[in-house]
Structure 1
Amino acid sequence: MDPAAPVTEEFGRLLLALRKRAGLSQERLSHAAGVSVRALADLERGRARGPQRRTVQALAAGLGLDDDTAAELERAACLGRPRPRACTGPQAHSPLALPRDISDFVARGPALAGLLALAEGADPARSAVSVVSGQPGLGKTAFAVHAAYRLSPHFPDGQLALNLHGMDPEPITPRDALGSLLRAVGVAERAIPASTDDRSGLLRSVVRDRRLLLVLDNAAGEDQVRPLLPGAGHCLTIVTSRHTLAGLESVHRTALALLRREEAIKLLSHIIGPQRVQQEAKAAHNLVELCGYLPLAVRIAGQRLAGRPHERISKLAAQLAQEGRRLDTLQVGDLQVRAAFALSYRQLAPAARTVLRRASLAAGSDFSPESAALLADLPLDQVARCAEELTDAGLLQPDGAAERYRFHDLLKLFATEQVTTEDGPAVSQAAVDRTARWMLRRATAAALRFDADRHQDTPHDDPDPTGAPATRDQARAWLESERAQWLAALHRARATGRHQQVIDAAKAMHWFSDLNQHWELWVEVFQSGVDAARALGSRQDEAVQLNFLAWSYNNCVHDPHAAIATADAALTVAREIGDRLQTGWALGYGASAMHRVGRTEESITRLRESAASLADENSQQGRLAELSALNTLGNHLRLTGNAQEALTIHQRSEAISLADMAGVPAELITLYLAVARQHIGNDLAALGRWREAELPLQQALAIFEAANTAAWAEAVRLELGIVLRRLARYDEARQTLLAAHDALRELNSPRQAEATAELRELEVRTQ
């Protein structure tokens, strides 16, 4: 007896019953479905094997079946097809059956939804393929398996999983992989062709009419995967790889990311129980943060705790807080974060390994190919290619907008270990020193583009003039993106006794620092300059650097008491050496800080003295210093109720700014003009001349925005919002004040409180 008879008869009985229920003869159904009358008769009598899916779909359409009944008819047909596979789920007896799904799977909702949409909207002309990629430890295999179980109802012809061993020294060949797949879909051993191409063609032919889901796990590269992909039909293939497999054409891509904090906490709760997590909520948050929200690391930490039910979460978190022990701690049984990273590291070419481990020596949270090339002592173009290779391998995370890269925290620890092991301290220190010297020279040359006396459009003493920033905008972009690197270089120069380089760099940064007043690092820069000047015994440099430091205390970290003490120290040195310019600056910086702590009369006295000290200074620096003193003096006078005198002083400042100041860069004098007009607008506002106040404030805001000086622009925006409120232009005022409030908060400006108060006043006025 034919073992398929019972199942084919089941399909026949069901088809006959459905036809009669629809009131159709075989002839009418034949016409509606496009199936011959003889074929229908054979099917209903159980003489034909289970029909292919297309035939079943045609019959269902001809019978007008709903989705559930059509699915029932398809299951009955599937059971009758002569293929050794289960038709309603994973193949229980197949060597390529899906691995066990994990019960504590969390997150990945959008990624799963993307695969579901792919399965439901597949084009029958081309089977769908999704590549799941990402760095080691993200749970790519777990995701693919979980997705396969979730999608199994859409693939009644079965689900198969094949490990391609992409991280092994010898990954499985496409020929061997095809042999495994062909055997799993029912092809007899003797019928499997010898060549890879023939096997690939046979696989595409066999699965063409099936709804089959394939998981190709741990792929080594595109060449390994391409021959395994189905062609036309309704199959779905999920490929996992640590590489992006960017060369695969027309595929859906699922790039897994780190877990969000709440997702990591949920995973930990699933593993050790929610009560335990709730009892030590803060420690649990610290724990998942120290795991870098990497699923593998969180799972290992959870498994460790699960195996020690009486151990506190805080104890494990404290162990992980020790960077030198973190990777040792993140292992349990055969699960190891270090081992996961090492697999990928060993796959790299020697140059890429060098770039990866040396890049861990870079300062800051990210780095450029330029920094990596200096640290690796390799050509820049080669390092750029290596960085792309490391990105494709999931070992570096690229910046979305710039050519910069970052490590995951745990990967950086791993790379640092490799530096210690493979390079040793002598090579590492030489790499850091080489990079620091280069970075400090480039930073000094770039910053000099903004110097009032030495303004230039060509690089000065740059270590690589052909690759130096070509414009001021490029110089600014470089200084901003590489600030962690050149600040570290400055500290290294100071620590290694290169004091003149420190002074030169700090002095070069002075004018550039005005463009980024919100950077707190200026205190570090100018304190380094003070220390270097004292180490060299240069009193003139000491006065200059102390003035810069006083400015940064007052304007960057908003510490007026430290600013007063530092300005007084600068004043003492400047007077001892008879430097009228530095005396004027010290008086002005001290006055600004005094005003902030309520010593208003003293601040005005100092500013008048500063202006008098600078009046006879005919240098460019002297004229600019005088402008600063006048602008600040007028501001303080206005705030003490002398708005008319303030207006007169600020109009004088505006006139000086509009006069020809030979040798002063136009961009710089334009900023001084904007400051004068900002003050004029505020003076007019203080005098109640609100309509007149609007224009100079608008002019000042436009200049500051064009110069990309956020700290100055947002202060003017606040002041303009106040004027608009007093002019009863409430909608404009609200929009302006809200923008200023949000920006001032981001800049950590104390004036954000003023913006909040103005918004409240506006709400009262408009209720």
Structure 2
Amino acid sequence: MHGGTPVEGDFGQRLRHLRARAGLSQEALSHAAGVSVRALADMERGRTKGPQRRTVRILAETLGLADDEAAELERAAALGRPRPRSAGGPAAPSALALPRDIEDFTARGPALARLLDLARDIDPGRPPVTVVTGQPGLGKTAFAVHAAHLLAPRFPDGRFALDLHGMDAEPVTPRDALARLLRAAGVADAAIPAGTDDRAGLWRSVAGDRRLLLLLDNAVDEAQVAPLLPGTGPSLTIVTSRHSLAGLAAVHRTDLALLRREEAVELLTRIVGPERVRAEAQAARDLADLCGQLPLAVRIAGQRLLSRPHERLGKLVDRLAAEGRRLDGLQAGSLRVRAAFALSYRQLRPRERTFLRRAALAAGADFSPETGALLAGLPLGEAVGRAEELTDAGLLQSDATAERYRFHDLLRLYAAEQVAAEDGPEVRDAALDRTARWMLRRATAAALYFDIEHDPAAPHDDPDPDTAPTGRDEARAWLEAERAQWLAALRRANATGLHRQVLDTAEAMHWFSDLNQHWEQWVEVFRLSADSARALGSRREEAAHLNYLAWAYNLCVADPRAALRSADAALAAARDCGDRLQEGWALGYGAGSFHRLGRAQEALTRLGEAARCLASQDSPQSRLAELTMLNSLGTLLREAGRAAEALEIHRRSERICDAGIPGRTDGVIALYHAVARQQIGNDLAALERRQEAEPSLRQALAAFEAAQMPAWSEPARLDLGRVLGEMGHPEARQTLLAARDALIALKHPRQAEAGAALAALDEAATAG
């Protein structure tokens, strides 16, 4: 910096100093930069502390500032710009709200009129669907969003926009799309059914009596869209796709065409202003022709001109014309957009180009600044600046609530091409590996907040302690928001031989997975970790993670046959390496599969074998596993009508807990003690000793609640409610009602049992 420049952070003083140094009055600078005198005066007096980046850039160019001075001026302005902050830790993922409407939307009048007519008189028996089709870059999404905003007041019960990513290598599946729609409609994540058909049925039920506006953007085919369409009700669905979706019956169609030349010029005029277009009317028409009247190409060219207020339209026309055959792509097929993207891309500074193309490697629908920083090899603060610059340039879209960014799908493809062209495979792989290692370290540290056997005082090996989640709430928010990214990192680490890190992360996730059984990706997590153990030649770890995989198949995706295969593979691995602990777990998980398959005797046999296997060992881990097997064995005996034998088994579990388990915390033992008490209460109830059962069940429920384990506390609440009902206790109905609602939210198999118990109680009260 030159001597005498004001301190960093005082934008007004800095601007006044630079203007005076240039020998310009406010009027002269106003005229040269196209910024009003009043605006300049407000900046210099401190009334406007943080002008927009575009204004600062224009002022810097007009004042002839060197790059470092321009950067200092921008930093001073940035300090004065308010930034929204989210209270209470990381922001929650946004709902499927409509994207912001485009202020300079142009043309499409007849198509809009037809759509407005369609929404005017809806028959609830046949909710209308309109399909907006056409080639890439025609503005299908912009048209649909604009129409949705015009129609929004007619649909007070919800306006949902869902990008189906039809151009991606792996478009959104109907199953995942239904889950997102159900969440947006207010269905709890844990209450969403596992199967696609069940999800579709629930969605049709939820949407059936609501006035909903549904925007399904970028569909790939009919099979993706059909399960998402409401069957009845006063709703309207707008679908956009590059494909005709001719197999969708009884739908209305809106086929967008290229803009007419005058419409393309009108769009350009709305972007750059009428003065510049009037000054070079023929150049504006030529530019529209060179863009092939493709709205996206016109928009990108217009944004480039807007960022350079002193550049003549004719200069851009000459540059486009000099592209030769590449410019032909602006008038045919997908090359239309690539040439326009290339112009916008080349005007970026090198580090912004790097950030844009590397961010295209991120997994999932959007990405965080941390992910962008890792892929681009930038400090986090600088990555945030690059992302904001690219958002201002129209090349990224920012989330409305969280600090996350997303690409237009075509631009993501273009940016990914630039990775191949400019970085090459070695740089690309290094960026992905660097990101994967960082993500897995953070995911591991975050997951350990939920491991009740982990010492909370032990240091967490987070890669960036300054930004690391602290406490369970922040850890859960991060693991949820970055689920796609850390799962992709796990895949990458497995594929590139980082098997130890895969195993460490999956092991850290063990308790967290038990608290989130409705997350179906646990099957993939533990499949990868079992594969990594196999690659390392560790039969003991292979057995452990095959057991985790059997758990995931049993409880997360309700596939007991696959669970049995995994449990049997774990049993073979455990016996091969002589690991009696994992042998016992494998027998137990196999028993769980048999139980779910209705093969009760085989389940009892395996559980008995598992309990004997574990009882013969002395380790603390074996005692905890033995407790699990004994509790399960007693439960099956009670269900088989052998409650007295069950009570004896569960009393044995209680005695083990009372004796203590060396090397295990009081909190862990208390949980297993509570499980034993719950089952003892159920055994006593089955033996009609209800007065003895009640306190045991209350103690179990209190322990589970204290440990914040809803997957364990709510079945205990159901058991207590049933006993209270049989006793005629006044708390029975309230207890059963709370249990039913919570079990539904958890997608627990016993939710139907809770509903039946509540109905039986109400029926008895009515009869009485």
Q: TM-score range by the shorter chain?
A: 0.5 to 0.7
Are the equivalent residues in 2 in contact too, given 1:553–1:562 (CA < 8 A)?
yes
> Relative to 1, partners in 2 of residues 1:734 and 1:406: Cα closer, same or farther, differing over 3 Å?
farther
CA distance in 1, matches of 2:39, 2:561: 82
**CA 1:179–1:640: 2 relative to 1, 3 Å:** closer
Alignment correspondent of 2:604: 604
The aligned counterpart of 1:134 is none
Q: Provide the residue aligned with 2:130 in structure 1.
A: 284
* Distance apart, 1:716 and its partner CA: 2.9
Quick check: 1:542–1:573 contact (8 Å CA) kept in 2? Answer: yes
Which residue in 1 is equivalent to 2:288? Answer: none
Q: Distance in 1 between matches of 2:241 and 2:759?
A: 45
Deviation, structure 1 residue 678: 2.7
| Amino acid of the structure 2 residue aligned with 1:580 | R
Code of the aligned partner of 2:418: T
1:635 aligns with 2:628: no
Counterparts of 1:651-662 in structure 2 under 5 Å? 651-662=651-662
Equivalences for 1:552-591 in 2 at 5 Å? 552-591=552-591
What letter matches 1:319 in structure 2? R
* 1:63-142 equivalences in 2 (<5 Å): none
Q: Deviations over 1:352-393 (max 9, x none)?
A: 665455444322344433222212211123334555667788
Match of 1:196 among 37, 44, 48: 37
Which runs of structure 2 are paired with 1:209-358 in the superposition (5 Å)? 258=98, 270-271=113-114, 284=130, 294-297=141-144, 319-320=242-243, 332-333=259-260, 334=264, 336-337=295-296, 340=299, 343=303, 354-355=354-355, 358=358
Query: Could you state the TM-score of these two structures normalised by the residue count of structure 1?
Result: 0.57
The one of the two structures with greater contact order (alpha-carbon pairs below 8 A, sep at least 6) is 2
Between the aligned partners of 2:468 and 2:701, the Cα distance in structure 1 is 31
Please name the residue that 2:645 is paired with.
Answer: 645
Aligned-partner Cα distance in 1 for 2:494–2:298: 39
Alignment-derived partner of residue 375 in structure 1: 375
1:677 to 1:444, Cα distance in 2 relative to 1, 3 A? same
2:651–2:676 CA contact under 8 A, matched in 1 = yes
Contact 1:364 1:484 survives alignment (8 Å): yes
Structure 1 pair 720–274 and aligned structure 2 pair: CA distance change class (3 A): farther
Secondary structure, counterpart of 1:284 in structure 2: strand
For structure 1, the residue ranges without an aligned partner over 5 or more in a row are 1-171, 181-194, 202-217, 225-242, 250-255, 303-312, 323-327
Distance 1:465 1:177, change over 3 A: closer
From 400, 408, 411, the counterpart of 1:411: 408
Q: Residues 298, 385 of structure 1: CA spacing in aligned structure 2 closer, same or farther, 3 A cutoff? A: closer
Q: CA deviation at 1:481?
A: 4.0
1:325-346 residue CA offsets vs partner (Å, 9 max, x unmatched): xxx9996553634654773977
Q: Which residue of 2 aligns with 1:671?
A: 671
Aligned partner letter, 2:415:
Q
Q: Which position in structure 1 is the counterpart of 2:436?
A: 436
**How far did 1:588 drift?**
1.0
Q: For residues 275 and 586 of structure 1, do their structure 2 counterparts lie closer, same or farther at Cα, with a shift above 3 Å needed?
A: same
Tell me the CA shift for residue 622 of structure 1: 1.0
Aligned-residue Cα RMSD (Å) equals: 5.0
Q: Which amino acid aligns with 1:607?
A: L
C-alpha distance in 2, partners of 1:685/1:292? 66
> Match for 2:497: what amino acid?
G
Indicate how the Cα distance of structure 1 residues 337 and 198 shifts in structure 2: closer, same or farther if over 3 A, else same: closer
Q: Distance in 2 between matches of 1:516 and 1:601?
A: 30
Rounded to whole Å, the distance in 2 between the matches of 1:330 and 1:651 is: 76
Pairing 1:421–2:418 present: yes
Matched, 1:750 2:596: no
The secondary structure found in structure 2 opposite 1:713 is helix
Cα 1:658/1:392, change in 2 over 3 Å? farther
The alpha carbon displacement at 1:435 in A equals 0.4
Q: Equivalent residue for 1:765?
A: 764
C-alpha distance in 2 between matches for 1:594 and 1:358 = 48
Quote the Cα distance in structure 1 between the aligned partners of 2:393 and 2:543: 52
Partner letter of residue 747 of structure 1? L
Partner AA of 2:613 in structure 1: S
Contact 2:440 2:490 in 1 (8 A): yes
Q: Is the 8 A contact 2:650 2:679 kept in 1?
A: yes
* Aligned residue type for 1:196: V
Give CA-to-partner distance per residue, 1:32-91, whole Å, 9 cap, x none: xxxxxxxxxxxxxxxxxxxxxxxxxxxxxxxxxxxxxxxxxxxxxxxxxxxxxxxxxxxx
TM-score (norm 2): 0.56
Contact between 2:446 and 2:476, CA under 8 Å: does it hold in 1?
Answer: yes
How far off its partner does 1:570 sit?
Answer: 1.7
Deviation, structure 1 residue 174: 11
* Residue type at the aligned position of 1:421: Q
Seen in structure 2, the aligned counterparts of structure 1 residues 684 and 725 have a Cα distance that, compared at 3 Å, is same
* Counterpart contact for 1:457–1:471, Cα < 8 Å: no
SS of corresponding position for 2:754: helix
* Aligned CA distance change for structure 1 residues 450 and 177 (closer, same or farther; 3 Å): same
Instruction: Give me the whole-angstrom Cα distance separating, in 2, the residues matched to 1:452 and 1:197.
Output: 62
Q: How many Å separate the matches in 1 of 2:385 and 2:625?
A: 49
CA contact (8 A) 1:357 1:416 kept: no
When Rg is computed on C-alpha atoms for both structures, the one with the higher figure is: 1
Contact 1:681/1:696 (<8 A) preserved: yes
Q: Alignment length, in residue pairs?
A: 520
Q: Distance in 2 between matches of 1:458 and 1:431?
A: 30
